[in-house]
Structure formats: structure tokens, C-alpha cells
Chain A
Amino acid sequence: MSETDWKSSLNLPEKDTRPQTEDVLNTKGKSFEDLGLKRELLMGIFEAGFEKPSPIQEESIPIALTGRDILARAKNGTGKTASFVIPTLQMIKPKVNKIQGLILVPTRELALQTSQVVRTLGKHLGIQCMVSTGGTPVKDDILRLNDPVHVLVGTPGRILDLASRNIADMSECSLFVMDEADKMLSREFKRTIERILELFPSNRQSLLFSATFPLAVKSFMEEHLNKPYEINLMDELTLKGISQFYAFVDEKQKLHCLNTLFSKLQINQSIIFCNSTNRVELLAKKITELGYSCYYSHARMPQQARNKVFHEFRMGKVRNLVCSDLLTRGIDIQAVNVVINFDFPKTAETYLHRIGRSGRFGHLGLAVNLLSWDDRYNLYKIEQELGTEIKPIPSVIDKSLYVAENESSVPKPFSTAQNGAPPQGYPPQAYPPQGYPPQGYPQGYPPQGYPPQGYAPHGVAPQVNGYPQYPQYGYPPYNGQYQQPMAQPQPSTQSSPTAKQ
């Protein structure tokens, strides 16, 4: 294959045309080719839909390739995952059948997602990436480790169990990566992490990434890192692309308020956070009763169900997800444009990570906080700690703040899912189709003359009572035919997953 050939033969995904903010555009103008990466790796990167390195990628990849330790912070969804996955893939030798890189994350879902990014970016490299987390049979993981594994992604407890018994052999693993490093160094993980580190060879390289560092990590730096290169690309904590609002309500008004939001907002996909597992389940049930498709997830569910929910939501099959803080950190779903804090969080870092589920990779997003009387001090405190102002919700929210012009170009994790979500939540008896116009709608949409006369601009949908008239705008009654774009993704032929993180 000649020098120019390889690029033209790439199977590139549809270009994401949504506007992006400075958070990811403020670069020095390097390209991925400038970074001296392997051809096969570059192919994986471009086929994943990456065009240019984001600021954190531009900054960290060359340093990581020199073998130096890195301690980096960058905002939510600005490309941190790729910042450590790309150097990991570059440095791993596929012909050496040993674990050469370990990536630790705090939650199982995040481990799945990170592993999928490794597999996607490294699919031309012949690298085996395995996930190992709690909640799955240990036996299976032990069996998997009989075969070559180059990159191990997992949660600390399971990794320690495997590595301390030499089932996972860390003796040649020279790369240690921690995502969400502040959480990983929190008290409940720290001891486990230190025990894992004891199993590493002494010349290991460590890469630590997070968006938040509420506490200094100085002691860990001194003990375990070797002159880390520090990257801090943040002069503010919150993302520029996210508009934050609060709705000050009574506790018993919350559901009513949420329903109003659903009818007024143009939701592509939303994540709704509650503070207790029971409320998560109840609220999800209510939402399905209101006529919107909705899954829920929290840590008390069996892992198999958690994985299923996570996967389907990533694939855009279901529009709404109600969850606990289990999915607060790191989860990257490009199509999410609205985050709702049904219950307000306690800590600033939780708030920041929650709202960072929308507005991924410099895109626009909306965060709405339902505040009850008891939450007000938390609001002031979090505003204070984050240096951001949360404004009261206006009766009309400008669509340009969070709705993309062309939803169909929003990248999906697996290429076969490119056509996006069918208009779930659209049984005609219960308007509105959220995320109107529904993404992935068959060609020819929107119908001519859309929006129709009398349709209120700025996402204000006609009142609930008026909804039955909607089919006249061109919605055929729901008959299940929109399921067809969701073909079974083939792991071997993924061609353009784009979990940009």
C-alpha cells in the first residue's frame, strides 16, 4: 500500500457536523500524523471518526510516548480516554504475548467502555484487550487469561485478585494507567491500588487522568510516580458547551416538572440522576408510564442486567436512562444532549461529572437541576466550588443551546448502529417523540414544510392536549418498523465506533 493509498481506503464514518467549543478546538494545530504513530494505529484512529487531536491528546500523547509519567487533568469529555489509549497502543508489542498495559477505572461499565475504545482504535494492530471486573464469573476471566492478552482493563478489586495470584502476570507490564484518578485514589481504592502497584516491574510508566482533583494527590505522586509531567488544561471547571439551569420545586412537584421538561425539550437522549436506588427504579417506571422509553441502572442490579442497559443505551436504542451515581463518571454517550439531576448531588465533583455526561467532545448540552428546599445550600456550595452560576430555568429554552442541526451524524459506539435510534418513546397515544425530529428517521425526513405553521419555535411543543394532532406532521403510527436499523453489530467488522474520549 503506498503512502497516499492507505488514507483513501479507510472506511470513514459520517462526519460529525455539530458545532464544537473551544474546550476541544483550542489546539496547537497538530495532526495525528504528526505524532509519529504506527500506520495501523492511525487507521484505527481515523476510522473511529477522529480528525484532529484534542488539546489534551495533543499535549499528552507525545509525552507519554517518551516514557514519562503523566498526571493530567482535562475537562469531561475532551478526549482523555484516547489520550492514554493511543500511547498505550503505540507502545505495546503485539508479538509479545504478555500483559503490557493495565488500565484501571472505578466502575465496571466504564471498564467496558474503555476496553471498547482500545479495541476500536487498535483493531488493525492485532492487540487483544480484555475486561476484568467484579460481578462476572472469576472462572471466565481465568480462562480468558490462558490466551494472549496485551491490554487488561478492569476495576481494582478483580485485578488484584487475579494479579496477586499471578493468574494475570504483571511482570512484563510496564504501563500503568488510571482513569478517574481522583476517585481511584480515594480512600476505598487506594490500598488496593498500592497493592497492585507492588506487582509491577520497577521501571513502569504511570499515566493518571481525571477531570476533577478535589484533593491534592501529592503523597501518591511522591510515593509512586517518577517526576510526573503535569498537564492541566483547565482554567475553569465546567464545560463551555453546557447550559446549566435549576428548577426550584417542591419535592412532590418533581415528577410534574420532569414531565413538563420532557414535553418541552428536544431530547435526543437523556440521563436522569436520582440519589437512591429505589427512586431510580420508581422514576424509570413512571417515565415508561408517561410514554417514554426508559431503562434504569444502579449498583444493586445483577451485572448482566447492568451491562445490557449500558450497551442498549449507548447504542441509542432507548432514549432515557435513569441511574444512580454508578454512571456518573466517564460514561461517554455522544448522543446525550440533556442531563437532568432529578435529585441534586452532594459533592461538587459528582455534579461536574454528572453534567459532563452531556456536551461530549465540545458539543452542546443542557443540564437541568431539580432543586428542593433542602438542596439550596448544596447549590450555593457547588456553585462556589466550581466557580459557575446555575440560572433559573426559563420558560423557553433556546434550541440552539443544546440541539444539534444534524442529529444523524452523531457518532455511535459501533458503526453498525450508525443509523441511530429509532423514534422510541413514540407510541402515538403518548406524544411527544423526544428528540424531535427523531434521529435516524428514514431518508426524506423532515417532511417538507417542517416545522409546520403554528409550531412553536425553540422547542416549545404544543401542549399535551394538542398532541394527538401530531401525526399530521408526517409521523406514521408506530408499528415497530424502526427497529431495522439496529442490526447486530459484528465485533470483527466494527468499522467506525467513535467513543471519543
Chain B
Amino acid sequence: MKSQKLQKSTSSKAEVIESKFKTDADIANANFKERELEKWVPDADDTKVLTFDENSTGGWDQFRVNQEKFGIESTYDEHLYTTRINTEAKDFQERVKKAERLANEIENDGSIDPHILEERGKLKDTGLDEEMKYSGVLRDEDPDVTKRDTRGDELMAALKSVNISDKKYVPPKPNALNTAHKDPAIASIQKPSDKKHTEESFRLNAQSEINSLKEFSATFKVPHKLPNDLLPILAKDKIKQDEILKKSSTPTSTSASSTSPPPPAFKLNPKAAAFTPSSPRGQGSPKPQAPKLPYVNNGMSKRHYQISPADFFGGFDRVPTKESQIEKSKKIKISFNLFVTAKRNTPKGEPVTIERAYTTPPTWKQTVDEPYYNLFPSPDTINQSPQAKPQVLNQQAPGQHPQAMNVFQQQQYQAAMFYQQQLGMMPQAQGMPGMYVPTGGEFMMPGYMPPNMNYSGGSPNSPRMVMQYPYGNSNQHHQNYNGNHHRRYNQKRNE
């Protein structure tokens, strides 16, 4: 298993070198720093003031106005762009009927893909603005989405709701989608270097920010009940404390009433499709990638009743559809069938060989059975310290039995050691090859046994390999197996 993984990773490295197709970032290499922007000033004799009344709605007849004012007539004819419908055909009426039936079928087909729905005219609004819908590229594998701390989202929603009251256009803020430069070199360049700011503009800018902050603080309210223990910190005076309490308990008109309607009762849908995490193509092992949180829409917090299937499943393309479910159940039927998969994976013309299933070496230390009381701490000690959970280990809770702790620590240690083994980092230098030497010294690892203890023929320097094929412990065998496997892997890629 290990060696196979290694080969995979090296071959993908080779591909990286092979494919030099550059992304935008690879091409742009210049550094432009923050700088002071030059304010635009209207010409001195240009006193006409024009503004934009954002509160009025658009919705005017552009064709009528442009025709009346500028005499523009439309000449659009779709046949300049597409083919003509042949209405002369003998069976035209039949064709129309058939087309209507099919059209109906398409329009009533259940799909939840927002793009497909939009194309059918079923979906007016996906919540994405037109930039993200038609121009921008959604960063699907943006690691920031998984790393982002979402705890502040509710607070952020409250911050936004303050702004919503006036319907003014708010220019887009740089968001996590497009600001985060992971490269520390770039990130450091992007930090404000305001030395060049002149006094004047700095003062102006600062003042406008201060004003907006003041305005904000006047209307902003934390969307939680004020904890009582905060009061003495906020104000020493009893009267002031009451004032704060009062202020926090009255609902603010802007955030609470205008924006969020009372949440509809949330019911679990018994018909909902089962959620099964699977890699999109349903083959091979899942790629090692950071665990994905449900897709978070640019820091906009969503309440549970607002979560769309796409949010829940972590992307539009992951929401199970009828077809994907059928496909999946089809796959499940055969994927676990040893014979079918063996046959499918064997190149044409070669005899089908069915591989031995993965086997693991014995994990116990010796074959002499020990009584259970030697293997486990006595039940009394466990019962006495029901709090001895791994989380509290560091705190050494008083009254906790040391031995009980030891068990947990051991287990943790084993887990850690096992992990190291998996990564191939097992310290090997603590004894002759093939000889087991306790690594920690302090405690044994009862559940674990180094793989190269039971037999001497294995490659001494690669305990990982030996662990994998305990019964055919000759180097010859390994090479065969690996070669074989590698070839098949390549072949798959070439298909």
C-alpha cells in the first residue's frame, strides 16, 4: 500500500514538470504596491452637478426611449444567427406535437443544478451576482474555504444588516475569495505602506472612516443576549449597567425587523437522498485533501433554514441527482465484486488474475494468551475516574487515578506511533534490524508490534513493505507486485 502510494506521488510530480500550462498568476510577475491615488477633480468651470438616485428603480422601456429620442429601430432577426425551422415539412404538425411533448418533458424534469434551471427559465436568482455567474471563476478548491473560521459569520451578518437599511450601492469588498494571497512574500507587499501618504489625504480618508465607524456604532448591536458577567466590565456604575442592559434587550429596528423574517419551522425531509461522500468519479481512493466544510458563500452567514442543497453538499456539482444516485447504486453493485473488477482491470488478452486481498500481520505480541486482567486496568480504577477523558488529560484532575490516565496516554501514544509508521517515519536505528526494541522505553505498546519481527527474510530497511506482504517476504515478490501494479496504474491513465 505504502509503496504504491509513493509511486503515485512521484509520477504525479513528473506530470507537474511535464505540464507547463501557466495560470494567470504564473504569467503576471510584476509587483505593484499600494500607493496614494490621485483624486479626480472636475474642471473648474464645470459646475453642473449630476447625481444618481439609487433609490429609484430602473425598469424603463429602453427600446421606446431610444427610438423616440434617437430614432433607433430594431432589425434583429434570429435567422441571422441560427437555422430556420422548416415549417414546410409534410409531417410538420406531427413534429410540433412531438416537440411540445419533449419540451414539456425537459421543462418538468427535476434538476437542481442552478445553471440548468436557469437555462430552462426556472431560476431567476441564485444569489450569485452577475460577475460570479458569467465572468468570474469560482475557486472550487480554495483552501481558504476550508480553513476559514466561520464563527464570526453571525456577527458579520449583523454588521451587514446595518448597512442594508439604506439601499445604497456598496462597492464590493475584497473578500476571501480573491484577496488572500497565500504567498507570504506577496502578502507582505500588500500590507499598507502608508509612509507616502500625504497628511492631507490621510486625514481626509481617516476622517471618513471615523465617521462611518461612529455611525455604525450608533446602530450596531451584538446579536446575542448580553452575558451578565460582562456588565461590571463594561460599566462600574449601576445605572449605566441598567442602561446597557436595556439597550441590548430592545430589538433594533434595522437589523431584526427589516431583514430577517421569522424562520419557518424546519423539518427534516424524510425523502431526502442519503448523503454519501464519494469522489466525483467514484473510482480509486479519495484524493488526500483537506476536509471540506459546506460551501460558505463569501463570508455571508447562512442560517440553517437558508441552506440550499448546494451549501449542504458543498457545491452544486455534489448535490445528488436522480441520475447520480442511479449511477452510484449501479457502481456499488459491481465495485465490490472481486471478479468483476479483476476482469475489468485486466488488459485484454491477458489471463485474469485475482489478487489476494490485503492482509495484515498479526498485531499481537505473542501467541501465549494472557488473562484479561493483565491486559486491561482493573474495572475499579476505570469506574473511579469517569472523567478521565483524553480531553482533560493535561489538567491532571485531582482524584484521578494515575493508572487510568496511563491507559489513555498509551493509546494516544500508539495512535501517534502508528501514524508515524504510516508515514514511514518510524525510527529504525534503535536496534539491529529485525529485532524489536521498545522505542519509548517508558511503556510498551501492547496493541502494536513492529512488522519485521516475525520473520527475517524481509527487507530490513523497508519495514513498510514487509508489513504489507507478510507471506511472500522476498524482494523478488515485491518487485513483481509493484511492477505489475504500476503498469496497471499507468494503463488506466492512458485509457
Contacts and interface: CB of A to CB of B under 8 A. Distances in A.
Contacts of B130: 277, 298-299, 324-326
Contacts of B118: 134, 157
Interface in A210-224: 212-218, 221-223
Contacts of A28: none
A293 B69 contact: yes
A164 to B, nearest CB: 9
Contact of A378 (B59, B86, B172): B172
A129 B83 contact: yes
B66 A318 contact: yes
Given A299-B134, A375-B171, A395-B43, 15 more contacts: A142-B102, A155-B119, A157-B117, A185-B137, A190-B317, A218-B15, A221-B21, A282-B54, A284-B58, A293-B70, A294-B62, A305-B63, A318-B66, A387-B28, A389-B32
Contact of A215 (B45, B133, B139): B139
A107 B58 contact: no
Interface stretch (A6-14, A17-25, A90-98, A481-489): A481-489
B95 A146 contact: yes
A371 interface: yes
Interface residues of A, number: 154
Contacts of A116: 80-81
A218 B21 CA distance: 9
Interface in A116-168: 116, 119, 128-135, 137-140, 142-144, 146-147, 149, 155-158, 160-162, 165, 167
A295 B118 CA distance: 23
Interface string A306-342: 0111011001011000001110110000000000000
Contacts of B139: 214-215
Interface string B158-187: 000000000011111111011100000010
A253 B24 contact: no
A363 interface: no
Contacts of A190: 140, 317
Contact of A285 (B25, B39, B60, B80): B60
A399 B66 CA distance: 28
Interface of B: 15, 19-25, 27-35, 37-40, 42-43, 45-46, 48-54, 56-60, 62-63, 65-66, 69-86, 89, 95-96, 98-100, 102-103, 105-107, 109, 113-121, 124, 128-141, 168-175, 177-179, 186, 189-190, 205, 208, 281, 315-317, 323, 493
Interface string A461-484: 001100000000000000010010
A191 B208 CA distance: 46
A392 interface: yes
A377 B191 CA distance: 10
A246 B75 CA distance: 36
A56 to B, nearest CB: 15
A255 B51 contact: yes
A254 B24 contact: no
Contact of A157 (B120, B141, B177): B120
A256 B75 contact: no
17 contacts: A146-B89, A146-B95, A157-B118, A188-B128, A213-B21, A236-B28, A280-B58, A282-B57, A305-B63, A324-B134, A346-B132, A346-B136, A346-B172, A350-B135, A377-B174, A377-B179, A385-B25
B172 A425 contact: no
Given A188-B133, A191-B316, A248 B38 contact: yes
Contacts of A199: none
Given A107-B134, A350-B135, A392-B38, A275 B169 contact: yes
B73 A483 contact: yes
B135 A288 contact: no
Complex A-B, nearest 3 residue pairs according to Cβ-Cβ distance, in ascending order? A281-B58, A134-B119, A157-B119
A134 B121 contact: yes
B72 A383 contact: no
A342 to B, nearest CB: 10
A437 to B, nearest CB: 18
A283 B43 contact: no
A67 interface: no
A171 interface: no
Contacts of A290: 50
A162 to B, nearest CB: 8
B308 to A, nearest CB: 13
B115 A388 contact: no
Contact of A188 (B50, B115, B179): B115
B14 to A, nearest CB: 13
B144 to A, nearest CB: 13
B25 A214 contact: yes
Given A144-B83, A315-B75, A288 B69 contact: yes
A134 B85 contact: no
B24 A138 contact: no
Contact of A252 (B19, B48, B51): B51
A226 to B, nearest CB: 9
Contacts of B138: 186-188
Interface string A202-243: 000000000011111110011100000010101111000000
A132 B85 CA distance: 13
A406 interface: no
Contacts of A381: 174, 178-179, 190
B106 A165 contact: yes
B72 A293 contact: yes
B58 A165 contact: no
